[in-house]
Amino acid sequence: MSLLQVDKVVAGYGETEILHGISIAVEQGEIVTIIGPNGSGKSTLLKTILGLVRPRSGQVTFNGKDITGMAPERIVRKGICYVPQSSNVFPSLTVHENLEMGAFVRNDDYSHRLDEIYSLFPSLTERRRERAGRLSGGQRQMLALARALMLDPILLLLDEPSAGLAPNLVTLVLEKVIKINSTGVAILLVEQNAREALKLSSRGYILASGQNQLEDRGKALLDNPEVARLYLGAREG
């Protein structure tokens, strides 16, 4: 039984159907990357797993429990945390308050966890009293990751964590992703920098127009000439 099992999920907004029966799985401790062209439904898939979009049919199972159609605030308590692509911090709250909101459902003393997070993201420590809206793009992204880690998630959903960042920051963010994964957190990653993302993934899925195209090991997808031509750009890495 996989940690996360998405089974033939159909979902969309209003009249438009975006996912036409997607199935993916994430095992304990894995990094899994979803790549695919714009509009292929990658973000919608993450939102559906987390309950922000209600699936019309199909099933989402996490840790052996059916979480299909559950409200996000309940799914979060089961151990899935999510970092949206944009607007992923509370701009008028301070850095520290953002982390406190990440720990909202915790009623225990989580000061130990705060220390761990601050040591994982040292640049946030100096700015803990600053409003998140004043942070630079890279630091916002770090704060967004940190916020999502406050609950000690079992699975982390990341929607393009490196979008809009300068190349050196992209590397920095992806390094953090590996570091987070090394603490035992499984990661489901949607990424534009497909080549970089596949390199660090155990497995990858390719989505196109709301349907599964291909699933393979990360390295195998990188070496697949068809994949390279269609989804990674013609350049040979």
Partner 1 sequence: MVQNLDWLFPWRWSLRRLVVAGLLLLLLLSFFSIVRLELVVNGLFLGAIIALGAMGLTLVYGILKFAHIAHGDFMTWGAYIAFFLLGTLLPRLGLSGVGFGPFTFGPSLFLALPLTILALVAIAIILDRIIYQRLRRRGIGTVVIAMASLGVAIAMRGLVQVIWGGETEQYPRLSKPFYQLPMDVRIPPDGLFIAAVTIVLVLSLYLFLTRTKMGKAMRATSDNLDLARVSGIDTGKVVWWTWAVGAALAATAGVLLAIFQAQLYPIMGWRFLIPLFAAVILGGIGNPYGALAGALVIGVTSEVSTEWLNPTYKPAIAFAMMILTLLLRPRGLFGVRD
CB of 223 to partner 1, least distance (A): 36
Between 6 and 49, whose beta carbon lies closer to partner 1?
A: 49
Does position 147 interact with partner 1 (CB under 8 A)? The reply is yes
**113, 81 contact by CB (below 8 A):** no
Instruction: Provide the 3-class DSSP secondary structure of residue 51.
Output: coil
**34, 208 contact by CB (below 8 A):** no
Residues numbered 38 to 67 that lie near partner 1 (CB under 8 A) are: 50, 52
Using the contact rule CB under 8 A, the part of the chain among 15-23, 60-68, 81-89, 113-121 near partner 1 is 81-89
Give the dihedral of Cα atoms 46, 44, 70, 132; nearest 10 deg.
Answer: 60
Does position 137 interact with partner 1 (CB under 8 A)? The reply is no
**131, 91 contact by CB (below 8 A):** yes
HSE-CB at 107 with a 13 A cutoff on CA atoms is 1
Does position 123 interact with partner 1 (CB under 8 A)? The reply is no
Between 51 and 218, whose beta carbon lies closer to partner 1?
A: 51
Name the residue type at position 8: K
The Cα–Cα gap between 105 and 74 comes to 10
DSSP bridge partners of 82: 157
Number of residues that bind partner 1 (CB under 8 A): 26
Residues numbered 85 to 104 that lie near partner 1 (CB under 8 A) are: 87-93, 97, 100-102, 104
Does position 13 interact with partner 1 (CB under 8 A)? The reply is no
Interface positions with partner 1 (CB under 8 A): 50, 52, 71-73, 76-77, 81-82, 84, 87-93, 97, 100-102, 104-105, 133, 147, 151
